[in-house]
Amino acid sequence: MRNLLLIFLGMSLLLSCRTGKEADASAVPRQIVFGQGGGFSGKITAHVLYEDGRIMVLPLQGDPTELVTTLSKKETKKLFKRTEEWKSLKLNQPGNMYTFIELVEGENRYKITWGNSGSEVPEAALLFYKDLAAKLQVEM
C-alpha cells in the first residue's frame, strides 16, 4: 500500500510540472536579414529586423549588439507580410558586388541574392530591399 501511495505521489508531481500553455507552432520567431557584400575586400554589411521592430547591425561573428532603429509594430508587421511576395523566388545570382534578403522562420530560410548585371531581379524583391534600406537611411 505504501509503495502504491509513493507511485501515485510521484506521478502527481510529474504531471503537475507541465506548463499550462502548449508551444504554438505559429510562434516561431522570424527575422529578416538583409544587406550587401562583395567587392575587392569581400566585406559584408548586414542588418537584421526582428518581429519586435528592432533593426540591428549583424556582425560577422557573434550576436547583434548595435541597435540601429526600432520600427513601429504596424510597420514591422507590414514588412513581414510583404515577405510572401518574394520568399518563394529562386534567385541566387551574386556578382562581384551583391545584395541579399533572407527570411528566417525557425529552421527554415528563404534567401535571394542578386548582383550580376544580367540578373533579372523581381520588382517585389527590389522594392522590398529599398524599403528596408530606407529605414536605415543607407545609401544604395
* Contact of 94 with 77, CB cutoff 8 Å: no
Question: Residue 14 domain-assigned?
Answer: no
Please say whether the dihedral angle defined by the alpha carbons of residues 76, 78, 83 and 86, taken in this order, is positive or negative.
negative
Q: Is residue 68 part of a domain?
A: yes
More confident residue, 21 or 137: 137
Question: Confidence band (pLDDT; 50, 70, 90) for 28?
Answer: low
Q: How far apart are CA 124 and CA 129, in angstroms?
A: 9
Whether the per-residue pLDDT at 113 is higher than 90: the answer is: yes
In a domain, 8, yes or no: no
The runs of H, that is alpha helices, within the chain are: 2-16, 73-82, 123-136
CB 65 within 8 A of CB 56: yes
Confidence of residue 121 (pLDDT cuts 50, 70, 90): confident
Say if 15 falls within a structural domain.
Answer: no
Domain annotation covers residue 89: yes
What are 70-104's pLDDT values in tens digits?
Answer: 999 999 999 999 999 888 888 888 888 999 999 99
CATH number at residue 94: 3.30.1560.10
Q: Is residue 13 part of a domain?
A: no
Confidence of residue 20 (pLDDT cuts 50, 70, 90): very low
Q: Are 37 and 113 in contact (CB under 8 A)?
A: no
The number of folded domains in the chain is 1
In a domain, 61, yes or no: yes
Stronger pLDDT, 116 or 30, i.e. the higher one: 30
Beta-bridge partners for 43: 38
Q: Which domain holds residue 115?
A: 29-136
High-pLDDT (> 90) share of the chain, %: 44
Lowest-confidence range among 4-8, 31-35, 87-91, 126-130? 4-8
Residue 41 lies in a domain: yes
In the chain, the percentage of residues whose pLDDT exceeds 70 is 78
